């Protein structure tokens, strides 16, 4: 009976749809219906991390990230780590899905370590940048499903280069770009980029000419300002005495700025 019905109405249906697609024709006539549970997708709430920044200054590269992790409109944790040392001269900062980002950072660490031990030399900067890009491309399947999005920053100090300070930013599909002076990512990224652009173009000292203390103070102020407009950014928690993670890359390697130094510089900035 279905075949007869389709035969009689095939000419009319072909005017509005492709009658050669038998399943589509049955759906249009209501003979076949999709199960309701397939059309309803429950939202997946992920733990997300923002905001991160990196910029070049007189002594190398500064990379910083706030400490807040969120799930939707809920603050999950206020002391997260978003800036990871992946080798002696490279740092990865993460924004986006924490689960995917942490796994990406760990895989990158092992990849660099394996290359160094097997080849008895450091991986080139180009190799490091593309290794991270490949991990992001491998994660594209999750991204297309709406979960697992990671938009990191990668900074390294290439001692063999005439311009050793390097900062790269990525999109979720693995496209990478080298920043001239600074980069930022995460929900507070637009505010941070505006602040760094202002400091670089109109401030008393361009970013590349700042000393270490000035660079740290600028990073703290940028994250604290971003937190005023973006609830997902933790900034500086004065009451809880929680400060962003700040790492410095220079010829000596990677250095984590201690909490007491961050507090002293930020309080000094407040007093001024």
Same domain, 31 and 81: no
Ranges of beta strands (E only) in the chain are: 48-49, 52-57, 60-65, 69-71, 74-77, 83-87, 90-93, 96-97, 153-157, 165-170, 176-178, 182-185, 245-250, 253-256
The per-residue pLDDT for range 9-26, each reduced to its tens digit, is: 444 544 444 545 666 777
Render the burial of 143-169: b for 16+ CB within 10 Å, e for the rest: beeeebbbbbbbbbbbeeeeebbbbbb
pLDDT in tens, the chain (272 residues): 444 544 444 445 444 445 456 667 777 777 766 655 544 455 667 888 889 999 999 999 999 999 999 988 889 899 999 999 999 999 999 999 988 999 999 999 999 999 999 999 999 999 999 999 999 999 988 888 888 899 999 999 998 888 999 999 999 999 999 999 999 999 999 999 999 999 999 999 999 999 999 999 999 999 999 999 899 999 898 887 899 999 999 999 999 999 999 999 998 755 44
C-beta neighbour count of 121 within 10 angstroms: 8
C-beta neighbour count of 82 within 10 angstroms: 29
Nearest to residue 215, comparing CAs of 155, 145, 148? 155
Report pTM. Answer: 0.81
Local structure of 156: helix, strand or coil: strand
> Whole domain around residue 35: which residue ranges?
2-39
Same domain, 85 and 11: no
Tokens linked to 114: 């394996």
161 with 89: CB under 8 angstroms? no
Name residues whose C-beta falls within 8 Å of residue 72's C-beta, 6 or more positions apart in sequence.
Answer: 45
| 78 alpha-carbon distance from chain centroid | 18
Same domain, 10 and 120: no
Same domain, 7 and 106: no
Same domain, 109 and 29: no
Same domain, 136 and 262: yes
Domains contained in the chain, number: 2
Same domain, 251 and 124: yes
The per-residue pLDDT for range 123-182, each reduced to its tens digit, is: 999 999 999 999 999 998 888 888 889 999 999 999 888 899 999 999 999 999 999 999
Please say if 50 is a catalytic residue.
yes
C-beta neighbour count of 170 within 10 angstroms: 21
Q: Check residue 238 and give its pLDDT.
A: 83
C-beta neighbour count of 171 within 10 angstroms: 15
Same domain, 179 and 228: yes
What secondary structure letter does DSSP report for 244? Answer: -
Backbone angles phi, psi at 78, to 5 degrees: -115, 10
Sign of CA dihedral 171, 145, 100, 244: positive
What CATH number is attached to the domain comprising 90? Answer: 3.60.20.10
Nearest to residue 192, comparing CAs of 182, 202, 201? 182
Catalytic residue among 50, 70, 104, 233: 50
């Amino acid at each position: 009976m279905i075949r007869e019905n389709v035969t009689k109405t095939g000419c009319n249906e072909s005017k509005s749809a492709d009658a050669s697609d038998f399943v589509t024709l049955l759906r249009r006539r209501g003979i076949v219906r999709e199960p309701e549970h397939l059309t309803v997708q429950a939202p997946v709430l992920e733990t997300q991390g923002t905001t991160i920044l990196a910029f070049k200054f007189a002594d190398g590269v500064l990379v910083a990230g706030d400490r807040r992790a969120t799930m939707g409109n809920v603050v999950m944790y206020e002391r997260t780590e978003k800036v990871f040392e992946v080798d002696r001269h490279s740092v990865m900062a993460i924004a986006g899905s924490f689960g995917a980002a942490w796994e990406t950072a760990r895989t990158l660490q092992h990849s660099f370590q394996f290359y160094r031990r097997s080849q008895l030399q450091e991986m080139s900067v180009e190799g490091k940048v593309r290794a991270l890009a490949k991990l992001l491309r491998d994660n594209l399947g999750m991204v297309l499903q709406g979960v697992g999005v990671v938009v990191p920053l990668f900074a390294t100090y290439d001692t063999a280069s005439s311009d050793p300070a390097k900062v790269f930013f990525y999109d979720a599909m693995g496209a990478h770009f080298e920043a001239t002076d600074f980069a930022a990512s995460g929900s507070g990224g637009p505010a941070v980029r505006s602040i760094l652009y202002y400091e670089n173009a109109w401030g008393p000292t361009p970013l590349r000419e700042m000393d270490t203390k000035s660079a740290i103070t600028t990073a703290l102020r940028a994250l604290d300002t971003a937190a005023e407009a973006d609830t997902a950014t933790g900034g500086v928690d004065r009451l809880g005495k929680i400060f962003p993670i700040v790492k410095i890359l220079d010829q000596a390697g990677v250095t984590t700025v201690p909490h007491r130094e961050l507090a002293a510089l930020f309080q000094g900035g407040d007093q001024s």
